[in-house]
Structure 1
Amino acid sequence: MKTIFSSICVFVILSFSGTVNYAQVTDGFSFGLKAGPNRMITKIINNPRSYNGQLRGISASNGFQIVGWATLPINRWLFIDTDLYFQQRENKYDSPITNDPYGYNSYNYAGVSGRLGVKHKRAFISVGPEVNVLLTKKVLSASEAPAAEWGINARLGYQYRRVRIEAFYTKALSPYEQRTFEIMGNKTQYLFHGNTFGLSLGVKLFGGKERR
């Protein structure tokens, strides 16, 4: 993860240093790349608080995103933003006695997000739905991870010349994992909702008529 992110940061810095006087707002379709770390906080619905197994505690966990992005301005203030990305996430099981992590699950996704945005000079904000399709997983035991999950993605960013930096947050509307337990003859399903936030650093590769 560190190697990938470091390489992309070097690429962004070199691209930035090689640019000439570009304005901050584009009048046409543009495309670029971005990458950065993300952190996921898991909320369990029907949390089995009295159950002394591996669902007793799940701590916040880290991952990363590698993203191809495209922007299509609608007018001077509005635009449509689309991300196509690879995303890696983990969850860590905590010991109910020591609170130390004793096991990890990892999930890899291909995802897409489409958002409507508002811009003012170099700053912008965008909100819209996202869908993630599960590619691979590595889990401790039997998994009931759905093939796809979805949520609402919001991004706050700033673009200077070719370089953009963003902070993002995704509110989950479906589980990325679920477990079914039979306790005293009753089956109960627990749903894992992963709310994710993070940062990304990116560079515009081509497109867009520059407005001065």
Structure 2
Amino acid sequence: MKRFEADHPALEIVLTEMNTNEQVPAIQRMQIDVGCAYWCDLPEGVVSVPIVTEPFVCCLPEHHRLASNRIIDLRKLSRDDFILFPRQVSPHYHDLIIALCVEAGFSPRIRHEVRLWQTVVTMVDRAMGVALVPQALRSSPDKGVVFRPMKSNRLVSDVLALKRGDQPEPGPALFIDYVKEAALRAAT
């Protein structure tokens, strides 16, 4: 963001924390120019630009019995409590995570339901359960968690930039290009 503002001093970036369900109408009403989401079913007039695709990983409390494993076999979490989004908040990820667990031979015992990824990680940090989360959350400030890849994992998260499809101003497209470039640099 600092580099973008330095390169484009006439454009100002103002950050506002919103979930996807808040961002989409704000984009439609032209209250914000760009949003960021993991996944969403977009209405007509709002488009997505892929930024990065990343795998999901297991998020475990640091003292979990499997925390020292390099790779997690999901079947070994069948008796653990899970922390997950309520289906009405994120049906896409909720259904994908449930399906992955069922494919591994169990139905997850969802003990806690929360609305934000960071809250999921914080609750795992407090040893309130385990979770499957996008890999980007590894940079979480919570120190009492470990993130481990899953054996036979096909669950991925698409990070998307959202904007109006008819947006004539060049600023949002320029900003999205900067974000894509930064994501590529971070991945290497």
TM over 0.5: no
TM-score (normalised: structure 1): 0.25
Bigger proportion of residues as helix = 2
Bigger proportion of residues as strand = 1
Per chain length, whose mean CA-contact separation is higher, i.e. which structure has more relative contact order (CA < 8 Å, sep 6+)? 2
Bigger radius of gyration, 1 or 2? 1
